[in-house]
Amino acid sequence: METHFYEAGGLIVAYFVGAAFAAWLVSRLFYFVFSRLTWSLRSEVGRGLVLTSSRPLGLVVFVFLVYLGMQYLETWPEYRGLALFTYVDHAIFLLAVFFFTVWADRVFQVLLDRYLRGVASRTQTHIDTRFLPVIRYAGRIAFYFVALTIALGHFRVNLTGFLATAGIASLAIAFATQETLSNMVAGFILMLDRPFGVGDRIEVLGTTLVGEVLEIGTRSTKLLTLDNTLAVLANKDLVASRIINHSRPDAAARLRVAVGVPYTLEIETVKELVLVTLKEHPAVLPTPPAVYLTEFTETQVRVTGVCSIADFRDALKVRDELNTAIMKKLQAAGIFPRQVPS
């Protein structure tokens, strides 16, 4: 029996060498044929799949040929029932599961890279650099977890306790990282929905926060406030908040200047003076400005001038200059209005 054992081992080693050479030929042939085909079709995804599939395909062919050889050798009466075949059978199964898992993982990476690059190019976001590593690792963990489960099941290992432990561990991790996961999901939503982008000036309603977006991260968003301080906001809070984006659809902004005047004044004269002041200011766009009587109070009426400026960042400066110019014109005309906040 020991002699048969060594003879079988020698035959298996020789067959391994032949199977390895045959698998190498199949792999090279697959790469040669399909790489030329995908090159003629100019398919970037196809070239990536061929490149990542040629070697795993050769390994799968190698394992399959070894399995066929072992099945044939086991039919010989002198080799039937050798314990070596049991060990080889287990090894072949584990190699097949491992090679298929590696191949599936690589195909997943190629398709994921291609898809997310396409999304990023259409949305002009950093989704590929922010979330691609996270999705990659999550997919890799899922593939190898399934492979481990299949391997343990082949050896008739009781998976009930293993799966229960994994479930409890995942629940514990989910509870422990609930805030982090919520912020990451919210960050993903912000990058896909794009209510604002880096460089936009936004205002978070219900708070005093107004600033320029410096960075949209996976867990938080950073704002440079008007006071030149850095504000870090959790993404889940931003998703739940009402936000005004002053940079969309472009940098131009509407500007309103309110003036309060007594009831005794000729309102048309006041409106004409305010309109002339708006038209004379160099920062006011050619879009025709307008002046409206907007409110009656107990002691005065309010007149509001409306105009457009090219850049919302100049709103405070231009409003100050317009208020000053309106004050001077009304004083020159003998009118002394009481300014009201706009």
Q: Is 127 a domain residue?
A: yes
Q: What does the pLDDT average to over 186-211?
A: 81
DSSP class of residue 125 equals -
User: What is the predicted pLDDT for the residue at 339?
Assistant: 47
User: What is the predicted pLDDT for the residue at 342?
Assistant: 45
Mean predicted lDDT score pLDDT of the chain: 76
Distance CA 61, CA 65 (A): 6
Distance CA 319, CA 316 (A): 5
User: What is the predicted pLDDT for the residue at 91?
Assistant: 79
Residue 126: C-alpha distances to residues 116, 120, 197 (Å): 10, 7, 10
Whether residues 20 and 86 fall in one domain: yes
3-state DSSP: the chain helix, strand, coil percent, rounded to 5? 65, 15, 20
User: What is the predicted pLDDT for the residue at 340?
Assistant: 45
DSSP class of residue 129 equals H
Whether residues 171 and 289 fall in one domain: no
Digit-coded pLDDT (tens) for 219-256:
788 888 888 888 888 888 888 888 888 877 777 888 89
Q: Are 66 and 74 in contact (CB under 8 A)?
A: no
Whether residues 77 and 149 fall in one domain: yes
Residues paired with 244 in a beta bridge: 203
Distance CA 230, CA 224 (A): 5
Q: What does the pLDDT average to over 212-217?
A: 84
User: What is the predicted pLDDT for the residue at 292?
Assistant: 92
Digit-coded pLDDT (tens) for 134-180:
677 777 888 888 888 888 777 776 666 666 666 676 666 666 556 76
Residues paired with 338 in a beta bridge: 260
Q: Domain limits at 213?
A: 195-245
Whether residues 19 and 144 fall in one domain: yes
Query: Tokens 């048309």 identify what position?
Result: 268
Written as one string, the DSSP assignment of 269-321 is HHHHHHHHHHHH-TTB-SSPPEEEEEEE-SSEEEEEEEEEES-GGGHHHHHHH
Smallest CA-to-CA distance from 335 within 259, 278, 279, 257 is with 259
Whether residues 263 and 213 fall in one domain: no
Query: Tokens 């399934």 identify what position?
Result: 146
Whether residues 34 and 139 fall in one domain: yes
Q: Which residue has the higher pLDDT, 193 or 290?
A: 290
User: What is the predicted pLDDT for the residue at 48?
Assistant: 65
**CATH number for position 276:** 3.30.70.100
User: What is the predicted pLDDT for the residue at 28?
Assistant: 77
In this model, does residue 293 exceed pLDDT 50?
yes
Whether residues 22 and 156 fall in one domain: yes
Distance CA 258, CA 260 (A): 7
Q: Final residue of a domain: which of 120, 140, 175?
A: 175
Order of strands, sheet of 253-262, starting from the edge strand that comes earlier in the sequence: 290-296, 300-309, 253-262, 338-339
Domain count, the chain: 3
Distance CA 305, CA 270 (A): 11
pLDDT > 90: what percent of the chain? 8
